[in-house]
Amino acid sequence: MARDTNLNAYLYFESVARRGSVALAAEELFVSPSAVSQQIKALELQMGIKLFRRSGRKLVLTLEGEQLYSAASAAIGILKNAQTNLSMTRETSRLNLRVTPSFGVRWLGPRLSDFVFHNPNLDLRIDAAPDPTDFDREIMDLDIRYGLGGWSGLTQTPLVTDYVLPLCSPAYRDQLIQACPNDPLSTARLIDSARALCKWDFWLHNTE
């Protein structure tokens, strides 16, 4: 059984065949000319054939060398293309995500380190904003938003069910009950936010 050839020998051989010179191949590969010559001699010795002949000051391929060069060049080309494709994949694997500030801080933030660890090649861009994404105008891949769904033209997946309830101090609660025992909320001062994702009218309408 023939001993496996050092793959570097094929790389050196391909460079010499393409450049027509040991010195030029050594310069391209950042090694010494003697290192290139040794690899070529070892390859010729193992294969039992002559790969080059001299034509003046230039090295030219023998018939056997041309056959080997065709295979070596194709193989190296495949490897280079694979490397390029993988590099492009890493560069373009970007995920643009929008979340509300509160969701980003309280839910997403504590889980980010684990997500990044398991997805090292993903370039994650997070935009924390209260307004929903306009996918027709903004460069965004995902938007984790609050609502009932039903957004036209978008793929939607429910993530969690949120429970919303009003809060007040015990003293204010007692004051409301004293003012109107049968309907305490009717006299309550409701604090709302212009950017609130759940408005009071929505909560009152959906609460039994």
59: CATH: 1.10.10.10
Extended strands (E) in 28-86: 52-55, 58-61
3 state SS of 83:
helix
Same domain? For 63 and 52 the reply is yes
| Host domain of residue 131 | 93-144
CA distance 54 to 59: 5
Same domain? For 85 and 103 the reply is no
Same domain? For 78 and 103 the reply is no
Give the whole-number percent of the chain exceeding pLDDT 90: 38
Number of structural domains found in the chain: 3
Q: Is residue 58 part of a domain?
A: yes
Query: How far is the first Cα of the chain from the last one, in angstroms, to the nearest whole number?
Result: 83
Q: Is residue 132 part of a domain?
A: yes
pLDDT in tens, 18-61: 999 999 999 999 999 999 999 999 999 999 999 999 998 889 99
Q: What dihedral angle (degrees, nearest 10) is formed by the CA atoms of 84, 87, 88, 91?
A: -160
Same domain? For 62 and 17 the reply is yes
| pTM given for the model | 0.47
Q: Is residue 149 part of a domain?
A: no
pLDDT tops 70 at residue 157: yes
